[in-house]
A and B are shown apart, each in its own frame.
Chain A
């Protein structure tokens, strides 16, 4: 690059683009990388279900076993995200509003480290751990079994695993927003005689609405697609406790790629809806 060129190019005050070299090669590499590893595989997922015609795809998706698996996956994910949101709100409150000094501050820092555990733990590990823990001879499963409550190999087991994996997503979406809420309105409400619950229901929760939507979308998306931590505890009875990702795996083992692709495409659409809700929530947060 010649000196004159640099002077000429630095004159217009357009701060980003013209000055830095390497736009074209960076764009080229990024498009190549994204194209080969994401766009091409996803286009196969989008197109291959239609290869025997829309009728064949509809036939796959309306089969009893597929319908049951999809209903279970979407329903269980919706319930798990709701539970994770409730528990996550308590944890987010403890992290964002917990004491910064005294004995409880150390507890708060410890919780902060442990919240991300399900995210860090490989799903196969959490899968066999949860199945053993809540199984008929497990630490939690055995006493519950005495009481006539079975968790492992039922729908309750699926919920336990889904809440486990989606909890950190709910907490981390709410916590920073809760920490940044100005205290003035809550203090004003309290000084006007509002109870703690009134402050929570009328001041805090309405202000948190976009963050709660983001938390729900993140937790739901994670729960919808979860495979490893669920299959060990689920029981996997076709039509009853068989989640959609597992049915995809089973169809692939039967070399039925078109059916697997049809179920996969529907799950992709579910995830895309979550992403859309998430970006709407993020826009509202700004």
Chain B
């Protein structure tokens, strides 16, 4: 462990002052600006901007996409994390790399890959067109792009916990006669619930705010395929600053609340452990 000293010396003050300056200028100033700009003309214009039909539609679409994405990636991510923690098999390292890959690459690529599959010149694009299936420039494309960019979060948070817990409890349950269902419902899921919740919240925050991947596949139709981040872009580029920042403040509050909840849960978890 590092040294634990009771009294701060001059070097501590210097380092803390530098750290506060960096965080204040680089990180806090932009956040404060969002809220100042949103209410630059008072409360009423900001609230009215949020009640416009295009804005309400964007909020609904963002929440709808987030619910589907969180449900799909949480269920499959939990199973994948358990598989990777409990079993050894060939190509396990390759599978883990594949699962980790989507967060390391550009979000724009997270949208591009779906156009390469289902776009007009894509592998399955012509087939989809003939059968009247419109995935791109509609909500299914937005869901697919968001699924891709939020793919590894549940696995990443659940896997270290499952590895640390070890298989003893699950093996005991099986020896005592637990079937597959009661093993999952009464041993595995209760044991990992805090890590699972933490991963779910991380997925939610990222799904709410995803911009690059969604920008590629959405088609930018206000009132129809614009999510909240895309509507922010539309408003900002249309010189509707107050409305853009009012929606930004709303989206930032949603994402920050989710992340704050996750921090609280992690604190509670580390206190218990």
Which of A's residues lie within 8 Å of B, judged by CB?
1, 6, 10, 15-17, 19-23, 26-27, 29-31, 33-34, 37-42, 44-45, 48, 87, 90-91, 93-104, 107-108, 111, 113-130, 132-133, 138-140, 163-164, 167, 178-183, 187, 196, 221, 224-228, 232, 245-246, 248-249, 252, 255, 257-258, 260-261, 264, 267-268, 271-272, 274-275
Contact = CB atoms under 8 A, between A and B. Distances in A.
23 contacts: A6-B175, A20-B171, A21-B180, A27-B87, A27-B89, A30-B80, A34-B80, A34-B98, A91-B22, A104-B16, A117-B27, A125-B251, A129-B37, A163-B26, A164-B26, A179-B1, A196-B11, A225-B212, A227-B108, A248-B108, A255-B120, A261-B116, A275-B104
Given A122-B252, A274-B104, A87 B80 contact: no
Nearest to A87: B22
A122 B251 contact: yes
Contact of A99 (B8, B34, B100): B8
Interface string B95-109: 101111110111111
A16 B79 CA distance: 16
Contacts of B183: 20-22
B147 interface: yes
A258 B112 CA distance: 11
B195 to A, nearest CB: 17
B29 interface: yes
A71 to B, nearest CB: 16
A267 B95 CA distance: 21
Contacts of B1: 179-180, 182-183
Contact of B108 (A96, A130, A245): A245
A160 to B, nearest CB: 8
Nearest to A23: B87
Nearest to B184: A22
B94 to A, nearest CB: 10
Contacts, number: 305
A96 B1 CA distance: 10
Given A41-B114, A139-B29, A29 B76 contact: yes
Contact of A252 (B20, B210, B216): B216
Contacts of B236: 128, 232
Nearest to A130: B30
Contact of A248 (B3, B23, B109): B109
Given A41-B148, A107-B20, A125-B34, A16 B2 contact: no
Contact of B20 (A111, A167, A246, A272): A111
Given A100-B4, A125-B252, A275-B104, A264 B112 contact: yes
B76 A33 contact: yes
A255 B119 CA distance: 9
A90 B19 contact: yes
Interface string B25-55: 1111111011001000000000000000000
Contact of A140 (B29, B99, B179, B251): B29
B61 to A, nearest CB: 14
List 3 tightest A-B contacts by C-beta distance, closest first: A122-B209, A225-B106, A41-B113
A124 B167 contact: no
Contacts of B16: 94, 98-99, 104, 107-108, 111
